[in-house]
Amino acid sequence: MSPAPSAGPSILRLQLQRRRGWLTYALAWVALALLWTLAATLSNRVPFGVAVRFGFIIMGTAGVLGVVVWWLTGRLPWDRRSFVFYAAHACAAVLYAVSFTAASLLPDFVKGNFSRALADAWGSPVIGWNILMGSWLYLIVAGLSYGIRTQQKLNQRAAAEVEARMLAERAQLAALRARLNPHFLFNALHTVSSLVSTDPAAADEAIERLGGLLRYALDESTDEIPLEREWAFTRDYLSFERLRLGERLRIRDALDREALASNVPLLVLQPLVENAVRHAIASSPEGGTIHVTASLRDHALTLRVEDDGPGGEPRGIENSRGLGLRALKRRLEVRYGAGARVDIRTAPGAGFAVTVVLPALPQTATGAA
């Protein structure tokens, strides 16, 4: 199986998203400070320098308090039926509004005019507006915080579902491959056994070739390789079968160079050729010809294996072609879903053709190794 992807990129992506989120949060409060400055300058004719100072003090305080609100929403889950939920947020809203209002008195506090600041604030008509505005800001920040946390939970749940689905797919692929490998081994040993009594020398050569074939078929280091490697293995398999069938087995191939550079699942081509050998060539005294083609068009890789054997009725022909074809169709369905398809064309006396269409995947460093 392919090695599991490293968690490093995912952690780095999560850190970048968090930094981007806090940067967006800070810029939002800067924008609100500038908006407050503009409103104070135009409506109350406050000098621009004073308005800027007060705008950033007030909105900066609201922004810092917003971080505390974010922390509180993490400690206090959303629960519309809980009295504690409403009571806690009511108290927090009051504290937020008072702190927001007190921020406007900060310059006077710094200058030491504490009593004057309190007297001016107590008699100012703006005090009620600031408390109301602070309350509204608390509700907005708390609402956005719960909304963001809910979205994060949904994203995490979706990611967990995707991961679970991928693990399930890998388990299905492993199970299918566990069935396919013994199937390949049984057929290869059947070929060797058929040569032992008739041609011992060819049987010895077949055993030597079988070692290389099994190393490839049982390789679990990767599930995806360049088509060029899959085709080289398929040619070796055909040479292996030719020890038994001789000139009865004829091959015609036309594989585009671009197609050979694309990645494909391991053992995607050999089972198709094996079916053709077993059902069209080995069963015929005259043998036959197998045509193998591969082309790359419009981001789709098309593989086609066709023989000139007896063919058969389209209805029910798939089940009669053995485990290899059925396992291949299931593997592609699990791996690509609707992104891949397997088409079969046959008729009595008209041969048998299988066309596999896959998403065109560029060759990777792992696949080329």
Residue ranges covered by each domain of the chain: 8-160, 222-368
Q: What is the pTM of this model?
A: 0.52
Query: Which tops the pLDDT comparison, 219 or 248?
Result: 248
Residue 223 has pLDDT above 80, yes or no: no
Residue 1 has pLDDT above 50, yes or no: no
Distance CA(100)–CA(127), nearest Å, equals: 10
pLDDT per position as a tens digit, 121-137? 555 556 777 788 888 88
pLDDT of residue 42: 76
Using the CB atoms, write b or e for 311-339: b if 16+ within 10 Å. bbeeeebeeebbbbbbbbbbbbbbbeeee
Compute the average pLDDT of residues 43-58.
74
**Considering the domain 222-368 in this protein, what is its CATH number?**
3.30.565.10
Residues in the chain: 369
Instruction: Tally the C-alpha atoms within 13 A of residue 238's C-alpha that lie toward its C-beta.
Output: 23
Sign, CA dihedral 349-333-356-339, equals: positive
Q: Are 330 and 176 in contact (CB under 8 A)?
A: yes
Report the amino acid identity of residue 55.
G
pLDDT of residue 263: 92
pLDDT per position as a tens digit, 293-309? 999 998 899 999 999 99
The tokens of 30 are what?
A: 């800067």
Residue ranges in the chain assigned as alpha helix (H): 8-43, 48-75, 83-103, 106-111, 114-123, 126-196, 200-217, 227-245, 257-260, 270-276, 317-320, 322-336, 365-368
The tokens of 213 are what?
A: 């074939």
124 Rama sector, left if φ>0, alpha if ψ -120 to 50, beta otherwise: beta
Residue 87 has pLDDT above 80, yes or no: yes
